[in-house]
A and B are shown apart, each in its own frame.
Chain A
């Protein structure tokens, strides 16, 4: 399984960009990187995913390094409602296996 490493926690000021890093040095060529977040006592929410190219949607941007060994999720203008646990996952075949994630605290 390609595993991911994320910092346990991060703080971000409201209105500023939140940049969440993820290392996945053992990723295989055909494995996608997925990002989800989980707000307390709710099911995980899909944010974005990518393979090689950078991706952007209405929620966030995903920057993947050229060697694909790491990626960064960018929330361009963090709000208090973005406080959550963010999970970076390399999809292993049919499964999404969750690690510990990063607790992002957005502060006013």
Chain B
């Protein structure tokens, strides 16, 4: 399957600071990217959907000014958690869907390995 990477794999930050997480599609062009959040012992919760070059669409209850999403290219999306607080500590997972570099579309959604954020 297609490969999606995330960086960093884990991060610890102080309360009030901002943290940026990168998501890259390595072998396909991600026309659509998704950001999920997962708390311990819970399922994945979709936060937002972004199409390349467009503003992200946020799910109900997700603060767009707190979780800034940029999808500036077909291989990169970033999620910035602004003014992070301990309750933002979670496992953040990106996902991508798009076109294979060799041609044709890959309608399947592939997931990154996740980023563990801990806010002290």
Contact = CB atoms under 8 A, between A and B. Distances in A.
A46 B43 contact: no
A80 interface: no
Interface in B31-82: 32, 34, 36, 43-46, 49
Nearest to A97: B46
* Majority DSSP secondary structure for residues of A touching B: loop
Interface string A38-58: 100111111001000000000
B43 A43 contact: no
B89 interface: no
Given A42-B114, A44-B93, A46-B1, A99 B109 contact: no
Contacts of A95: 34, 46, 49
A43 B114 contact: yes
Contact of B114 (A34, A41, A100): A41
Q: Interface extent on B, as a size class?
A: 20 to 34
A80 to B, nearest CB: 21
Contact of A42 (B34, B45, B49, B113): B113
Contact of B111 (A44, A49, A101): A44
Contacts of A36: 111
Interface string B92-114: 01010000000000001111111
A46 B1 CA distance: 8
Contacts of B109: 34, 46, 96
A97 B93 CA distance: 13
13 contacts: A36-B111, A41-B116, A43-B95, A43-B114, A44-B111, A45-B111, A87-B43, A94-B32, A94-B49, A95-B34, A96-B109, A98-B36, A98-B43
Interface of B: 1, 4, 6, 32, 34, 36, 43-46, 49, 91, 93, 95, 108-114, 116
